[in-house]
Amino acid sequence: THGGGVSYFNEKDFFTASVQDGFPATHISVMLKAKDGKIVFGTTNNGLIIYDGKRFVNFTEKQGLVSNSIRSLMEDAEGNLWIGTADSGLSRFDGDSFDNIGATEGLMSTAIKCSVQDYDGGIWFGTRGAGLVKYNGDKFRNITRSEGLSERRVISIAQDRDKNLWLGTFGGYVT
């Protein structure tokens, strides 16, 4: 949303929760339904919000999140949340604490637009300007135009049943 908090629809009526109603943010940039049924919200300036069906819990830089400006969310096979930020890299959240990952840890771009875990357990990140990044659990590998990537701004990723990665790019290409 752009300033309106969050809305939900129960197949009959729309309901909106705003700051005035106790929702802790006005600008939602991304949402995810976690495997445990919780709804996770990434915001443009208020961090991470997790809704357990009864209450909203807000996590910000004060609780260890690398940045309050979130652009992507992904849950891995182990239940960790991978949180991509506008310009500060990644946070991995295990439900208790944040592990922050940036250039010092080998991440080639700190502007993360999207992510997906592949069938083999590797985690792929689309970046704003540094192409595609793969994390194998130990180190990062950057894939750029020199390896055949059509555009360096990757904004969406999906993997098909044949294990091919599909990349949506800012330049209008699908790779």
Spatial distance between the Cα atoms of 7 and 131, rounded to a whole number of angstroms = 33
- pLDDT > 70 fraction of the chain, expressed in percent and rounded: 95
Average pLDDT, the chain: 90
- Region 31-45: mean pLDDT is 95
CB 7 within 8 A of CB 26: no
pLDDT of residue 174: 58
Is the predicted pLDDT of residue 64 greater than 70, yes or no? yes
Tally of CA atoms within 13 A in the half-sphere of 155 that contains its CB: 10
Tell me: pLDDT of 1 over 80.
Answer: no
Query: How many angstroms separate the first and last alpha carbons of the chain?
Result: 29
89 has pLDDT over 80: yes
pTM of the model: 0.90
Largest CA distance in the chain: 51
Numbers of helices and strands, H then E, in the chain: 0, 16
- Can you tell me the distance from the alpha carbon of 87 to that of 76, in angstroms, rounded to the nearest whole number? 22
Looking at the predicted structure, is the pLDDT value of residue 73 above 90?
yes
**What is the reported pLDDT for 116?**
97
Residues facing 6 on adjacent strands: 17
Report how far residue 161's alpha carbon sits from residue 22's, in angstroms, rounded to the nearest whole number. Answer: 42
Mean of pLDDT values over 130-135: 91
Other beta carbons less than 10 A from residue 141's beta carbon: 14
Q: Residue 76: pLDDT above 70?
A: yes
- Rounded CA separation 159/175 (Å): 12
Mean of pLDDT values over 21-47: 91
80 secondary structure, DSSP code: P
Q: Is the pLDDT of residue 3 over 70?
A: no
